[in-house]
A and B are shown apart, each in its own frame.
Chain A
């Protein structure tokens, strides 16, 4: 069963604390993504990873960094979290075929609250 998993599903942190969000996929997809979604809005792209140790900034990378040491895992790190980083974070993965990004599959999301 093709799946994207995210841990944890819910997280509460205080301002200034470090945050680690984890994502896994079992489809051997090369490309993985991190998005955030704020209430009533669509998803905003934070980072793309094309494969292990090959990451690129998305539209809103400030305040975030990522790590991809294995193809099936992609981590999002917030060093010294801020209250405006309270959001729902989605991870996704896709195949890269013929130079085009194919269908993206999404994880269930992590609801992060920064107090």
Chain B
């Protein structure tokens, strides 16, 4: 089965609302990366996490290694937040989730 499972697979949000994306690991992840692949295809680094929480502007991410999950919270969603969000276990090499496709509607 999937070693890194992301949910939901797709999400549509109204501009200005909040949401959370989740990443579950069936392997013992020790570090996690979150990326946004924008509609042009570029991969943008969002967070690199050891267990704990990081915040950057309207984004916040938490990694709980004991319970094997990570979350990405988006606050006050903007149109430019649209794209596909990937999480990856970055223990030795990146083991990718299948992504959450996020559409922000005006």
Please tell me the size bucket of the interface on A. 10 to 19
Return chain A residues, CB-CB under 8 Å to B1: none
**Main SS class of interface, A:** strand
Within the complex, which residue of A41, A43, A109, A111 is in contact with B94, where a contact is CB–CB below 8 Å? A43
Q: Is B104 an interface residue (CB 8 A)?
A: no
The majority secondary structure among interface residues of chain B is: loop
A48 near B93: Cβ-Cβ < 8 Å: yes
Chain B residues with CB under 8 A of A103: 33, 45, 48, 90
The answer to whether B42 touches A109, judged by C-beta atoms less than 8 angstroms apart, is yes
**B83 CB–A CB distance under 8 Å:** no
Question: Which residues does A use to contact B, with CB under 8 Å?
Answer: 33, 41-43, 45, 48, 58, 88, 90, 100-106, 108-109, 111
Interface residues of B (CB under 8 A from A): 30-31, 33, 35, 41-43, 45, 48, 86, 90-94, 96-99
